Structure 1
Amino acid sequence: MIELHQANAEVYYNLSQCYRNLNLQNEYFQTLKQGIQHYPTDGRLHFTLIIDLRRNGRTQEAIDHADKACECLPHDYTFQILKYLTVPTIYHNLEEITFYRQRYTQGLQSLIAETSLNTTEEKQNALAGISRLTNFYLSYQAQNDIDLQRQYGKLVHEIMAANFPQWVVPVSMPKLQPHEKIRIGYVSHYLHSYSGTLWLTGWLKYCDRQNFEIYCYYTGNEPDAVTEKFQEYSDIFHHIPYNLPAVCEQIRADNLHILVYPEIGMNPQTMSMATLRLAPVQCTAWGHPVTTGLSTIDYFLSSELMEAENAQEHYSEKLIRLPNIGVSYPKPYIPPVCKTRADFGLSDDDVLYLCCQAPFKYLPQYDSILAEIAYRVPQAKFIFLRGTLLQERLQRAFAALGLEYRDYCVFLSIPERLDYLMINLLSDVYLDTFTWSGGNTTLEAIACNLPIVTCPGEIMRGRHSDSFLKMLGVTDTIAKDEAEYIEIAVRLGLDPNWRGEISERMSQLHERLFDDKVCVAGLEAFYKQVVELSS
């Protein structure tokens, strides 16, 4: 059809998706570019191309195409955001982090200066733009983002206020009548099986029903068994997918005392909603462990074990340090081992180091650590589950020590949860990432009794695994710096007896970590205090 010139933009898009599903990346991008050449005002073709170029590590190309999209669609605010605020998903070196942070900082100033909200059309265009994007990748530069988050949050707030002025006015705290319960609302796009909210089920499960009434607002649309748990643990459960005005109206109508966003910064609609004032007290938690920068979010519900002494400096919200890790994480079901290493093309003679984080959590200044471990543990195999974009960096790091990275790094595709758990059970050591540590992945590895090597960072998002191991009571594998991290990882690789001892101790202490009710009591004490102070 394309050769006969009978195509339209829809045909180019559909054909590109066929190539994408077949993992034919060059043909995928080429088809999108051809479609844009013929249909330069088709926003979907531009958007898809830019987002996936960035996702595949082709950042400058993505920015160039965002520039082009702005020329073709000058009134589409989406492409203004992408032009000014695109940062890489993967950094090739430390200098790139500095360069793109400066570019983002300057770009944000330009975007703010160029944003006009004087006409109805301008308001709606800006709303459409922020409804499609967040600045999610900024926080993977391992720096304190509070100032940039405040600036970005103020911009989103102004756009939302221009479109929904009725929802930015203050809300007074409902007077609590004798024997009346405090109404707590939880709103999220992810009330299903998802890393950013899975921990929330414990807060609801162990809720004090005598004093609290739980309202949940599910704004996504991928219901599953975890969604059913949220329904079971809620007094009122609203499923209102992809309809921001309807959710806002429902929240306001329910006359809550406190509204909690388990995560802010991952989903555009959630970010936009959070800039409104829908309840007298509004909180967020560490489903996305970054300050929101929003004046409309009053408290950040965190953990006493995760936060450094100076942690308030990282938050625009008032920091609340809940007991222990701050969440009541349900102990995962771990099946018996039903597969072998051979099923995954791995040898029983190898020392398997599991590297299971998303690729954007791996920063280039730490690549050499894996090479150092491999140099001292000849049988080492580093198992990456999502790390193909890291290969160029790994090649350089290993070559610096005279090693061939392909001899040590294995890249697996593990689509099924059973296989993911099998890899945990068959591995020898879990290597945590620096500056942004594992959350759910670490908790599941602990449930599999897999020894965890971690080194806590300065900011909370780099201290999850550290806090889990401290609460568990197995701290031997927490390193104070990079050198000790390497020493611990090497010893675990070379000393199977010590490895087994660590694993055995972990297996005996699960009850300390999982299904914690102490943090729930601390959370509810905070809720009561806030309502009393605001009444």
Structure 2
Amino acid sequence: MGRLEEAEASFRQALAAAPDDPDIHNNLGLLHERQSRLEDAESSYGRALALSPGHVHARNNLGNVLRIRGQLDGAVACFEKVLSDAPDHIDASVNLGNARADQGRHADAQALYEKVLRLDPRNFEAHHNLGGLLKRQGRLAEAIVHYRRALDLEPRRAMAHHGLGTARLQAGDLDAALACFQSAIELDPGRADTHFECAETFKLLGRLDQAIDSYERVLALDPGYSRALGGLIYLRQHVCDWNGIDALWERLRGEALGKAGSGVSPFSVLYMPFSAAEQLACAREWARQLLDHLAAARPGPGLGAGPRPRNPRTRIGYLSRDFYQHATSYLMAELFELHDRGRFEVFAYSYGPDDGSAIRARIRGACEHFADVSGESFVETAQRIRGDEIDILVDLKGYTLGSRPQILALRPAPVQVNWLGYPGSMGAECVDYILADPFIIPEGAERHYSETVARLPDCYQVNDRKREVSGETPSREECGLPAAGVVFCCFNQTTKILPELFGSWMRILQAVPDSVLWLLESNRWAAANLRRAAANHGIAPDRLVFAPHKPLREHLARYRLADLSIDTFPYTSHTTASDAVWGGCPLVTRVGETFASRVAGSILRSAGIPELVTDSLDRYERLAIELATTPERLQAIRRKVQQNRDSCPLFDTPRFVRNLEGAYEKMVTIR
């Protein structure tokens, strides 16, 4: 018999002698909690209260059990009853704060924690839980202060090292975050959530092998930790380690995708061979966990979508982390310059780094209002947006790296739009529209999107006609390319390269003698794995050539050396597709049913070259081979790409802006 069983036997023996002793029932309830027998614990506490209604410890403990079981209203009633009898009860005050935080009533929770700290400035739980509350609101500097105070009080509490690490991680202080997580693991090696945060930090630091090891450690400790499974699959794809990848996809689909409590990143799922319906289910669950608690935290009448006087000009707010040297900025810069200032007032809210780049300066100069909100909490930014009386808030990040969808959850604008940065539904009630086009989301596909679909008549992607291409073309030798032979290229990130597609690429190389495949250099693990995979397909590894990252103007000039660009699937080229066309290089793509799988097809159709869009792997492969082995046909396509560049809808930015503004006006009218 174990120690807990022995203790239970002792309590049962005591109850046999004194069945009406509330303290014994309360203690038995505490024991049942340790045994994870929550129903039995609730029953024991209930019996204690039936015998002694004023038993504050039993009522407080009952509230804790009800909170754990998700019965928040009942938990709150218990804690409030304790506090009505004993207003300065420390534990009940902390516990009520926890329940209010769970309900999304952040201001009430904060007031309770601060009350405890006035009564007991050295209360670890209040400091720790207040740190967590502030972190969830994006108030990271304040959160870090309280986590550090908690650690000053109890330096050997792993949970506080973990909490401080998560705040440091959100603040972008990766080395400090990693040190916190490693301290937590030293104190409690079995914490799966801390190993997960280690994995996330290693990933951001580029230490991908250690990140993969950490994800695997999480799954060894907790096989049902779905976020770790999703993270592991994403990184395995990123380093092109496909050993057992099909089984991992099926495990994710069967065990976690879209299921309550799963918490799989919907952004990572876009890279995996899942259906549009599965992607939406995943996004809905992510939004439920990440955003729903903030709906109740919309503070007062200053936030929310209530009526307001109509502005003389429609106020458009663009919210992003990417107003620096990033693909989003390179696509959008001219849009800001071309907005009709007689009808629209343009605001940009930037929560990303100021890299001092020319592209950031160009965007800042083109916007009437440019606010750096990187140091603000979610609530502060939402209050700023509401104060600016924004009519339409356009989120350019979705669930991509470093995004802040929590701002949208606070509903600072009456119309909120998902556009450009995230190729899929956000699954969130706070996002009203997704901007697309008739090809990306055809009629009948609306069921895969929680947002109302607003379609632009051409391609949904904006482009900048001022993108400069270097006049100097590097030599093939300088780029590591052979002097002769067809050059296929794919400058997508390696996460998009899946084994079925790679097998097709190898068959293409086999069918086109002396050809090479020119890929973007991503990470050393991917290069080694791809070369190994090529050899396994009977292709010499040196027929894969890796291009280092270059400034955009120099990178675009490299397309002159490529004969044909071949696309990834199911996450197709987006900015990379328009780069290829702008650089004069035709792209062969394949389309599917998901948003991400149809973007390149939309781009090519808008560029006037729909004949390069295929709908199956076989047709994709055959078209690439036909073009590469028929020089006159390939040259005709290349001429068409170059001739269309200055006249096609894809690069007619004034036309795009007129269409976009028309869509905005409809949204404002409908509201």
TM-score > 0.5, shorter chain as reference: yes
**1:235-271 CA-partner distances (Å, limit 9, x unpaired):** 2111121422332221111111111112311144422
Match of 1:62 among 197, 214, 227: 214
- Is 1:193 the equivalent of 2:325? yes
Higher RCO structure (Cα 8 Å, ≥6 apart): 1
Q: Is the 8 A contact 2:496 2:571 kept in 1?
A: yes
Cα–Cα, structure 1 residues 168 and 297, in superposed 2: closer, same or farther, change >3 Å?
farther
Asked if 2 retains the 8 angstrom alpha-carbon contact of 1:328 and 1:517, the reply is no
Kept in 1, the 8 Å contact 2:590–2:615? The answer is yes
* TM-score, with length taken from structure 2: 0.64
Per the TM alignment, residue 455 of structure 1 is displaced from its structure 2 partner at its CA by: 1.4
Corresponding residue to 1:375 among 500, 503, 510: 510
User: Which stretch of the first structure deviates more once superposed, 383-392 or 339-348?
Assistant: 383-392
Task: Assess if the C-alpha contact under 8 Å between 2:265 and 2:286 holds in 1.
Answer: no
What amino acid is aligned across from residue 359 of structure 2 in structure 1?
A: V
Aligned mate of 2:418, from 263, 268, 284: 284
Higher deviation after alignment, 438-447 or 36-45: 36-45
Classify 1:357/1:57 alpha carbon distance in 2 versus 1 (closer, same or farther; 3 Å).
Answer: farther
Q: Which piece of structure 1 moves more, 451-460 or 417-426?
A: 417-426
Shift of 1:97: 1.6
Residue 227 of structure 2 is aligned to residue 95 of structure 1: no
Partner amino acid, structure 1, of 2:373: I
- In the other structure, the counterpart of 2:267 is 136
2:593 paired residue among 451, 455, 458: 458
- Structure 2: distance between partners of 1:327 and 1:49: 33
Alignment partner of 1:426 is 2:426: no
Deviation at 1:148, TM superposition (A): 1.7
User: Counterpart in 2 of 1:119?
Assistant: none
Give how far 1:436 is off: 1.4
- Cα shift readout 1:69-109 (whole Å, capped 9, x = no counterpart): 99xxxxxxxx9784475351234243322222333338x53
Amino acid aligned to 2:364: Q
Does residue 302 of the first structure (1) align with residue 436 of the second (2)?
yes
1:317 to 451, 460, 470: 451
Note if 1:249 corresponds to 2:383: yes
Residue 514 of structure 1 corresponds to 651
CA distance in 1, matches of 2:571, 2:364: 31
Show the counterpart of 1:19.
Answer: none
Measure the CA separation in 1 of the matches of 2:210 and 2:202: 8
Aligned to 2:231: 86
Name the counterpart of 1:47.
Answer: 197
Tell me how far apart the structure 2 counterparts of residues 140 and 193 of structure 1 sit (CA, whole Å): 23
Query: Residues 327 and 67 from structure 1, CA distance in 2 versus in 1: closer, same or farther, beyond 3 angstroms?
Result: closer
Which residue does the alignment assign to 1:146?
280
- The answer to whether the Cα contact below 8 Å between 2:229 and 2:252 also exists between their aligned partners in 1 is no
Q: Residue 167 and residue 201 in structure 1: after superposition, are their counterparts in 2 closer, same or farther (change >3 A)?
A: farther
Tell me how far apart the structure 1 counterparts of residues 342 and 308 of structure 2 sit (CA, whole Å).
18
Aligned 8 A contact 1:221 1:241 in 2: yes
2:667 to 514, 530, 534: 530
The total of aligned residue pairs comes to: 475
Identity %: 20
| Native 8 Å contact 2:396 2:421 kept in 1 | yes
1:233 equivalenced with 2:366 (yes/no): yes
- 1:5 corresponds to which residue? none
Tell me by how many angstroms 1:469 deviates: 1.8
Secondary structure of 2:653's counterpart equals coil
SS at match of 1:357: coil
Extract unaligned runs of 5+ from structure 2.
1-160, 166-177
C-alpha distance in 2 between matches for 1:257 and 1:359: 39
Q: Which runs of 5+ in 1 are unaligned?
A: 1-8, 14-29, 71-78, 113-132
- Residue equivalent to 2:354: 222
Query: Measured at CA, do residues 50 and 466 of structure 1 come closer, stay the same or move farther in structure 2, by a change above 3 Å?
Result: closer
Indicate the SS of the match to 2:576. Answer: helix
The DSSP-based 3-state class of the residue aligned with 2:436 is strand
C-alpha distance in structure 1 between counterparts of 2:309 and 2:181, whole Å: 59
The equivalent residue for 1:344 is: 479
The DSSP-based 3-state class of the residue aligned with 2:405 is helix
Q: Secondary structure at the match of 2:270?
A: helix
Larger helix percent: 2
Deviation by residue 1:148-190 (Cα, 9 ceiling, x = unmatched): 211210111233346555599632243326xx11111111111
Spell out, residue by residue over 1:385-443, the C-alpha distance to the aligned partner (whole angstroms, 9 max, x if none): 1355275466446634xx13404222333344455234322111101112211111111
Q: Secondary structure at the match of 2:431?
A: coil
Return the match for 1:266 from 376, 396, 400: 400
Q: 1:123 is matched with which residue?
A: none
1:347-394 deviation per Cα after TM superposition (whole angstroms, max 9, x unaligned): 121311112111111222222101111111121211121355275466
State the SS of the aligned residue for 1:105: coil
Rounded to whole Å, the distance in 1 between the matches of 2:212 and 2:369 is: 47
Partner of 2:463: 329
C-alpha displacement at 1:211, in angstroms? 1.1
- Corresponding residue of 1:21: none
Describe the SS at the equivalent of 1:430: strand
Quote the residue 2:626 is aligned against. Answer: 491
- State how far apart, in whole Å, the 2-side matches of 1:384 and 1:163 are: 47
> Secondary structure at 2:328's aligned position in 1?
coil
Q: How far apart in 1 are the matches of 2:383 and 2:302? A: 13
Distance 1:460 1:38, change over 3 A: closer
Of residues 553, 571, 584, the one that matches 1:436 is: 571
The CA RMSD measured in Å over matched residues stands at 3.4
Structure of larger gyration radius? 2
Give the match's secondary structure for 1:279: coil
Question: Counterpart in 1 of 2:306?
Answer: 172
Is the 8 Å Cα contact of residues 327 and 520 (structure 1) preserved in structure 2?
Answer: no
- Once residues 174 and 33 of structure 1 are traced to their aligned partners in structure 2, the CA distance between those partners, rounded to angstroms, is 47
Q: Secondary structure at the match of 1:337?
A: coil
Code of the residue aligned with 1:226 in structure 2: it is I
SS in 2 for 1:176: coil
Query: What is the identity, as a one-letter code, of the residue corresponding to 1:186?
Result: Y
Q: Residue 27 of structure 1 corresponds to which residue in structure 2?
A: none
Q: Distance in 2 between matches of 1:354 and 1:58?
A: 30
3-state DSSP of counterpart to 2:592: coil
- Larger deviation, residues 471-480 vs 52-61: 52-61
8 Å contact kept, 1:323–1:518: no
Alpha-carbon shift at residue 229 of structure 1 (Å): 2.2
1:48-89 deviations in Å (ceiling 9; x for gaps): 44543697377863334346899xxxxxxxx97844753512
Contact 1:424–1:445 under 8 Å retained in 2: yes
Give the distance between the partners of 2:253 and 2:341, measured in 1 at CA: 46
User: 1:266/1:218 Cα in 2 relative to 1: closer, same or farther (>3 Å)?
Assistant: same
Following superposition, the deviation at residue 504 of structure 1 comes to: 1.4
Give the Cα separation in 2 of the matches to 1:32 and 1:428. Answer: 50
Task: Tell me which amino acid in the other structure corresponds to 2:496.
Answer: K
Residues of 2 paired with 1:111 and 1:491: CA distance? 45
Provide closer, same or farther for how the CA distance between residues 171 and 480 of structure 1 changes in structure 2, counting only shifts above 3 A: closer
